[in-house]
Every structure is written in C-alpha cells, then in structure tokens.
Amino acid sequence: MHWGFFDASLLPILSVHSGDQVTFHCVSGEPEDMPADASKVLPELREIHARCDPGLGPHIMTGPIWVTGADPGDTLEVRILRCSLRQDWGWNIMMPSRGTLPEDFPQLRRIHIPLDRKAMIAELPWGSSLPLRPFFGVMGVAPPAVRGRIASFAPGDHGGNLDNKELVEGTTLYLPVWNEGALFSVGDGHAVQGDGEVCLTALETALSGTFEVIVRKDLSIHLPLAETPTHYITMGFDPDLDNAAKQALREMISLLSRIAGLSPEDAYSLSSLAADLHVTQLVDGNKGIHAMLPKDCLPP
C-alpha cells in the first residue's frame, strides 16, 4: 500500500500482462475514522495504522502494479469487472473549512453507517435506507516522473481521486500512461455517493475489486475518460468549475470527432442536444465535471 500520494518512483508490487485480470483488496480510513468497536476494523488496516505514517493525503491505496508493455503515450484500458464490500459499516465526514458549504457547516462531524451486504442498502441514522452502488474513488496511474510525489486528494491527468460515481462494475476507465509499466493503483472505496460529494466524503468503506487491464497502443489520450454499456463519459478537472466544464466538453467534442467522424461543429451541437454535464465533485481541490453522452445518439 501507499498512503496519501502517487509517485512514479514507487516500486511495483506485482507485474502483469495486458489482458490479465487483477483483484485488489483495499482498506480505507485514518485512525480517527474507526468505529468504537475495534473488532469491526479489518486487521490489515489496524496494522497499517500501527506501522505506517500518513502521506500527503487521506487515501490508502493498493499498488502499484506494473503492466508489461505499457509505455508513455499509450493508454491503459481498465475494465471494472467486480466491486464488492469488505465490511458491514462505513462513514461520512464533514470538517471545518472543507466541503462545499464550509461557512454554513464549520463543525467536525463523523457518522458511522451500517451496511447490509446482503440487501445492499445503507441504514441511515435519520431512519431511511439508501441503495448501495459501490465504486472506487481512486483509480490512477503514476503521474509524470518530473512531478515527483504528489498528494492523492486532487484528480488529474493521471486519474487518481476521480470520485466519479459512474465508475461501477461494468464501466471501463481509460487512463493516459506517463511511465513505463503504467504503475496502476486503486483505493478509496465508496459504498454510495451523489454527484458533487458535497459535504466532503461519500459513504466511505473498504472494497475489493477485480479489473482487467489492457495496454492500448492504438489510443493516445491526455485525460481520463470512461465508457459504460450505454454512455461515453469525458472528464474535466480544475479549481474553477467553469474551466472543468469546458475541459470535459472539449474532451467530448474530441472523442466524437475520433469515434464518429463528426466535425467539431457537429460534435458541439450534438453535445448540446444529448450530453449531460454532471458535477463529479466539489471538494477535492480540482473540482470535477463529467459529460455523459448516450451511445445510441451516434450515427450508425
């Protein structure tokens, strides 16, 4: 594991080939996030708390893995095959000076929420239940080596803390490769999250995930993008939400030109007619916008 940072100098824990499937078992949470009943805490997380110091951010990530044949300029295709809960509880936090409304909620609040893994619902403390839709908040490759060690909390062109609730089972994530081997890591399990992640966190928990990793020599991108069975998804990240929206939209126009042969003008018009722009998150330094376009609106 590596706690709170990405770094191209990290040694890989596993070497795999393009087309291999890899299962990651992940943990989440700092010592203060744990419930009063210590028996509920996974033993490997207790060991991490005892032996390791936090890095530059809160996320505990499993990895990195080396994907043989991945070179700078390639794309790593990550097919999300399975995403499952590892424990029957999660937590949600708001903190002073953080979140979308820090002026309205200046207090620290941490609530622990039971998870019913059979029914796949969360039992919320105010009496309602919420269907679970687990996904990993952090999936990323090592950033360009020249950047050195970077904090885990901000998403970027390496992926990282994307916090995109569409990255569930059945979705494929595409990441630009910046270093030989790609050096792919996973963490930050979410049981469920709304677009925006407004109070600071999702329903944080521990997950296991199985991924198929494929080196794409035929595809060169400079920002993460994704594909569900029904939609194409492009992403933008910037401290300014308007700039993030422009970035996600420009990426969609570029994608439509590449996959459907549309002119930039036609792609822009189609985006206005059929694409939905969602606020991915507002709380990670670089805010996020993702554009979602239904596949069935493209020309045959």
Q: Name the residue ranges covered by the structural domains of the chain.
A: 12-32+42-216, 230-297
Looking at 135-273, which runs of residues are DSSP E strands? Answer: 135-140, 150-151, 159-161, 172-176, 184-192, 203-205, 207-216, 225-227, 231-238
Sorted by sequence, the CB contacts under 8 Å of residue 233 that are 6+ apart come out as 164, 166, 225, 226, 227, 290, 291, 292, 293
C-beta of residue 45 within 8 angstroms of C-beta of residue 58 = no
What CA–CA distance (Å, rounded) separates 161 from 171? 17
Confidence band of 260 (pLDDT split at 50, 70, 90): very high
Looking at residue 55, what is its pLDDT?
85
Find tokens 């439509």 and name the residue. Answer: 256
Token pair in block for residue 233: 């998804």
Percent of the chain having pLDDT more than 90?
98
Looking at residue 84, what is its pLDDT?
98
Query: Buried (b) or exposed (e) across 17-29, using 16+ Cβ within 10 A?
Result: ebeeebebebbbb
What CA–CA distance (Å, rounded) separates 135 from 138? 9
The rounded mean pLDDT for the chain is 97
What CA–CA distance (Å, rounded) separates 128 from 199? 19
What CA–CA distance (Å, rounded) separates 285 from 282? 8
Name the CATH superfamily, with its identifier, for domain 12-32+42-216: Acetamidase/Formamidase-like domains (2.60.120.580)
Confidence band of 222 (pLDDT split at 50, 70, 90): very high
pTM to 2 decimal places: 0.97
Token pair in block for residue 140: 């990323």
What CA–CA distance (Å, rounded) separates 95 from 209? 29
Find tokens 């521990």 and name the residue. Answer: 206
**Average pLDDT value for residue range 81-86:** 98
Q: pLDDT tens for residues 266-296?
A: 999 999 999 999 999 999 999 999 999 999 9
- In terms of Cα–Cα distance, which of 125, 201, 209, 126 is closest to 170? 209
Token pair in block for residue 248: 């996600």
CATH code of the domain occupying 230-297: 3.10.28.20
